[in-house]
Structure 1
Amino acid sequence: MEIIFFEKPGCGGNARQKAALRAAGYTVIARNLLTEPWTTADLRLFFGSMPVKDWFNRSAPSIKSGTVQPETLTAEAALSLMLEQPLLIRRPLLQIGERRCAGFATADLKSRLGLELPETVPDGCAHPNT
């Protein structure tokens, strides 16, 4: 099965997640999340019914500084900010055919994408400022 994996190049967490997918037998096609030509409609598809506050990379500098407060944003405002500042986007974004998912939570990978992983890999970014 082929998975499009939108990542921040150089992110150690994303590297571990890709390795786990490959070890489970999946084909991973990595793309740069930060340079992808997103539209609000395309980006919105990855978040499904997740609350807006969960769409965000909590390690992004503008969130850690308090400049961006995800809990206060509408979906439209959140998507607009993410297009301006792609570091705000929760990663990875994964796509299999028309199915999409944000983050690497095991339950979401199974329910939204049908993926089975033999091991648990942490969701989110381990680096404090990205």
Structure 2
Amino acid sequence: MPTLYGIPNCGTVKKALAWLDARGIDYQFHDYKRQGLDEPQLRAWVAELGWEAMLNRRGTTWRRQPESVREGIDEEGAIRLMLEQPSIIRRPLLDTGETRHLGFSEAQYEELLS
């Protein structure tokens, strides 16, 4: 069963959840702001997807970071920041059990889950 990771008040997460529900696809939702995220799992995602792809630089959480953090960010700093503030992770993250995918695209979800 796929797992969708994100935060429930995110517009893109809401679109992904609605898409899954409309197609009757069983899934688990993991709210990583409430349920947390463990470091080994995050490091595995970073190894697979890349820390730069996972870091949401367009959101308010990123823009609220001090300039020194934003300019000097590297993989370890990004992992630390994502663990401390999971809302800075690009979302949603769909885990099919075999692969992980960031963001939401109807075409991509159709291909992955049909």
What's the TM-score once normalised by structure 1's chain length? 0.65
Aligned length: 112
Q: 1:98 to 1:50 in 2, by over 3 A?
A: closer
Aligned to 2:101: 101
Q: 1:47 to 1:18 in 2, by over 3 A?
A: farther
What whole-Å deviation, never above 9, does each CA across 1:13-63 have from its counterpart, x for those lacking one? 211111112334421221212123322220133345544322122343242
- 1:107 and 1:94 map into 2 onto residues whose CA distance is 14
Say yes or no: does 1:74 pair with 2:70: no
Q: 1:49 to 1:4 in 2, by over 3 A?
A: closer
- 2:2 and 2:112 map into 1 onto residues whose CA distance is 10
Q: Higher helix fraction: Structure 1 or Structure 2?
A: 2
- 1:109 and 1:44 map into 2 onto residues whose CA distance is 24
**1:109 shift after superposition:** 5.2
% identity of equivalent residues: 30
Q: Which runs of 5+ in 2 are unaligned?
A: none
Aligned to 2:13: 14
Q: Which runs of 5+ in 1 are unaligned?
A: 118-130
Aligned to 1:87: 87
- 2:25 and 2:46 map into 1 onto residues whose CA distance is 22
**1:106 shift after superposition:** 6.2
Residue type of the partner of 2:77? A
Aligned to 2:52: 53
What's the TM-score once normalised by structure 2's chain length? 0.72
